[in-house]
Amino acid sequence: MSIGKWWSFRHQRLPKAKWEIARGGMQGILEDALHPSPGFCCMLWQFDTDNSTFSLKRAERKQLHMRFGLALPNVGRYSDIATLVDLAFLAESDGWDGIFLWDTLHYQADSQEVCDPWIALTALALNTERIHIGTMVTALTRRRPWKVARETATLDRLSGGRLIFGVGAGDEGDKGFTHFGEEQDSRTRAKLLDESLDILNGLWSGEPFSYSGEHYQVQKITFLPTPLQQPRIPVWIAGTWPRTGPMLRAARWDGVNAFAQREDGTFGEILPEEVVQLRAFMDEHRESDLPLDIVVSSNVFAAYDDEDAQALLIDYKDAGVSWCLQSVWPETDPEDVRTGLQRGRDTWYKYSLRE
């Protein structure tokens, strides 16, 4: 089905909303009866009477249930934007909470087609209503942060405040770095990432902002409009547990997408018992009062008929995981993803994973 047809379907489905009048402006409390936001008690649409603008503010949060998302490549068969739109529409229809795209120029893409993830995310935003969208992950160390500030604010407003921004320092083997003269030293990348995040946060504020860092300098400037979400677009930091540097960085932002390094030096998905340790670390080092999203990857599709996969999801929920992502690789048949989306929905309702 064409993107244009998806667009026509989009306008037939309207979100439930309850509006209330409050002093100093108008607030709307968005409610979704079937899929309440698990990390939020509510989201407030606040109308500023001084400048006639709306913003989406985060209210006090408490964990209600674990969210489920789909992480798709932008490579191979998934470089076709119509396929990505189709999967996003189906994921939203089946009750999934998020759909995230790789942000790569050439990762795992030898002799394969690649699409631009930001243009693809624009198509996803225009053809969905509820589901969160985002990158998983953006190597911010090869991007100009002021350009990213414009792109993300625009996409957040276009999507109605549904953007989640997953970032990292970049993979050492990514040809987007090695073949274009980008910075490859890991310590320098870490500094670039921290400075870029500071600049993003400043430019998103809508206030006059300047910055003087080791790698970036910004003369006083104001970026408008701001993102719809306030105080900012949620930023998830990708990193390896138990490395202190990435985890301390994540504690300053809004979420951590962690993988684990084993004693033998190998890497793998973080285990539920490691999630407990990670959450304790975050509680100790986090200064913000807002809860932090803990994001893991697991085989949600397999849990439909695999007892071990089912048990792992239950353990993740008990450990306090906020989001569980089903990763999809370029060689995966999109038809298998379509089948898996419905099976995932059946699994989390059967085992009360969203309650």
Structural domains of the chain, with CATH: 64-350 (3.20.20.30)
> What secondary structure, in 3-state letters, does 25-54 show?
EEEEEECCCCCCCCCCCCEEEEEECCCCEE
Residues 121 and 101 sit within 8 Å (Cβ to Cβ): yes
| Predicted pLDDT of residue 181 | 73
Model's pTM, two decimal places?
0.84
- From the first residue on, what is the mean pLDDT of each consecutive set of 10 residues in the chain (355 residues)? 40 35 32 36 48 54 75 96 98 97 81 94 98 96 96 98 94 73 85 98 98 98 97 96 95 96 87 96 94 95 94 95 96 97 89 77
pLDDT at 46: 57
Q: What is the pLDDT of residue 33?
A: 33
pLDDT at residue 183 in the model:
78
Q: Dihedral sign, CA of 285, 288, 291, 292?
A: negative
Residue 7: CB atoms within 10 Å? 13
pLDDT of residue 64: 52
Res 296: pLDDT? 97
